[in-house]
Structure 1
């Protein structure tokens, strides 16, 4: 049985749609993790995050013992780097009984002059690049 021209047209447009989705996914992977992250201006972060960022640039003193410790990037949401490149800092959460979920993770050779810093409000489930 022969296919009608309208049915052939539908089938080819459906395959074109599938191909477009696959190519878009491949292009997103090729761009890398930084392109997949959103960007947030430093001024749009909570006051506690801005204060933590100032402490990072000043080299402390930090209120939590774990501040400045190596961040392993096990989630692989940040660009790949060798161990020790990223460091994490607590962003205090008002009314939280513990450190809370908010952090700033900065990467670079010198902790007081980071190459890039990232904000997470959900304990490393997502990150936003901090634009200064």
Structure 2
């Protein structure tokens, strides 16, 4: 009987650990980049963007046409990495990924009232997990 009780305790302990790991995994596994106290993110020079990023940036400045239907759609900033703004301030654009069958993970997100002359643009190579401000 004592042996059966010890087995049950071990099973419960394993289930508790697995349950805790399941609950905490989204928090522990996803480190979020947040703006500093000054509100700035790290930067990347336009010339440092991948070639496809420079093409996308040029298309933004020209007003298109864009290769993907979702390009120019509102970016909600749900990750809260970019500076807080009203909904509709940010728009997202796909940066082609060579060999990808879909839109891939790379994007440029620009903010401002005039899409062709945005206040600021940000590059993400990891589907919104981190951003770098594009500087010309």
Which bin holds the TM-score, normalised by the shorter protein?
0.7 to 0.9
CA distance in 1: counterparts of 2:107 and 2:50, whole angstroms: 11
Residue segments in structure 2 that go unaligned for 5+ positions in a row: 1-34
Secondary structure in structure 2 of the residue aligned to 1:119:
strand
- Indicate the residue corresponding to 2:95 in structure 1: 91
CA shift digits 1:45-74 (9 cap, x unpaired): 000000000000000000000000000000
Distance in 1, Cα, partners of 2:104 & 2:69: 14
Residues 13-52 of structure 1 correspond to what in structure 2 (within 5 A)?
Answer: 30-32=37-39, 34=40, 37-52=41-56
Q: What is aligned with 1:77?
A: 81
Deviations 1:14-54 (A, max 9, x none): xxxxxxxxxxxxxx85322x2xx210000010000000000
State whether structure 2 residue 132 is matched by structure 1 residue 128: yes
Q: 1:114 aligns with which of 102, 114, 118?
A: 118
Q: Which runs of 4+ in 1 moved over 4 A?
A: none
Instruction: Provide the rounded CA distance (Å) in 1 between the counterparts of 2:76 and 2:102.
Output: 21
Q: TM-score, normalised by structure 2?
A: 0.73
